[in-house]
Amino acid sequence: MKLKKVVEGLEELYPLFLKEEWDFPGLVLGDEEKECKKIFFALDPTEKTAIEAKDWGADLMVTHHPLFFKAVHLIPSSNPHGRVASTLLSSGCALWVGHTNVDASFRGTNEALCARLGILDPEPMEPLGEISGHPVGMGRIGELKEAVSLEEFASFCQEKLPRAVQGSKMAGDPKMKVKRVAVMSGAGDSFLDKALELGADAFLTSDLRHHPSLDAIGKASALQRPMGLVDVSHFSSESPWFDFALQDVKNKLGGKVECRPSRICTDPWREIFI
Ligand SMILES: [Zn+2]
């Protein structure tokens, strides 16, 4: 199957128009006329994951995070992004990025996170309409089957999500009851107010900062509507997408491609042993 057809399939599953305005997902590198049989999935396009894709003989690497977040003018191989590009191009491997369009899609990162954590009937926190009867948009909010305490929910997240150094942190009353849960895979502190407005008992996301977190807890208690926060690593909140993506992409392409995930944890943090 030609890369062009593979890209069409990916963009039917994860339409590019669902992206955020500042984001530029899509085919970054590659010859659309070339045959594509092996698709390699990784969260980040780093030199290590590019080498892993090359060693497997991948024709296409699909990543969630962009190779370039900003416009660039120079990509020599002395620059980390240039190194990824030259590693992939020299081995004939294309790169397709599905970023905020995947976050918003049906069976994208946020729905995969809900599925992993048993959050039922997830609806977008910020709806963008429906595609083929499925609601799409940023974030998701749904309900746990049974109410649990915030500390039970946070430890359940730690147990169920891919392991990274950070584990799971919580803010708020550990004994408060949690049933209605909002999630935003990746860095989600811009959705703290939205989670509160939607009546979430807990908001799970990554990369929560000190001041926005304190403000959110303060606002919730001033409204006498407590909301707990659960912060997991960025890597842990987005990796569950591969549970869905590998199967969905293979099915979409009529089983004519081989798909495999990266085995490298691209979480940058490491523990300190003294
Ligand atoms: Zn991310």
> What is the 189 CA–ligand 1 centroid distance (Å)?
13
> What is the 236 CA–ligand 1 centroid distance (Å)?
10
> What is the 52 CA–ligand 1 centroid distance (Å)?
20
Stronger pLDDT, 71 or 88, i.e. the higher one: 88
Going along 188-250, which residue ranges are E strands?
202-206, 228-232
Please tell me the predicted confidence (pLDDT) of residue 10: 98
> What is the 222 CA–ligand 1 centroid distance (Å)?
31
- Which whole number is the average pLDDT over 161-175? 91
> What is the 223 CA–ligand 1 centroid distance (Å)?
31
> What is the 78 CA–ligand 1 centroid distance (Å)?
25
Q: pLDDT class for 163, splitting at 50, 70, 90?
A: confident
Write out pLDDT tens, residues 198-232.
Answer: 999 999 999 999 999 999 999 999 999 999 999 99
The reported pTM is 0.95
> What is the 274 CA–ligand 1 centroid distance (Å)?
31
223: left (phi over 0), alpha (psi -120 to 50) or beta: alpha
Q: Which domains does the chain have, with CATH numbers?
A: 3-99+238-261 (3.40.1390.30), 105-232 (3.40.1390.30)
* Cα separation values, 234 from 6, 186, 239, Å: 28, 5, 9
Question: Does pLDDT of 164 surpass 90?
Answer: no
Q: pLDDT class for 167, splitting at 50, 70, 90?
A: confident
Residue 167 DSSP SS3: coil
CB 211 within 8 A of CB 220: no
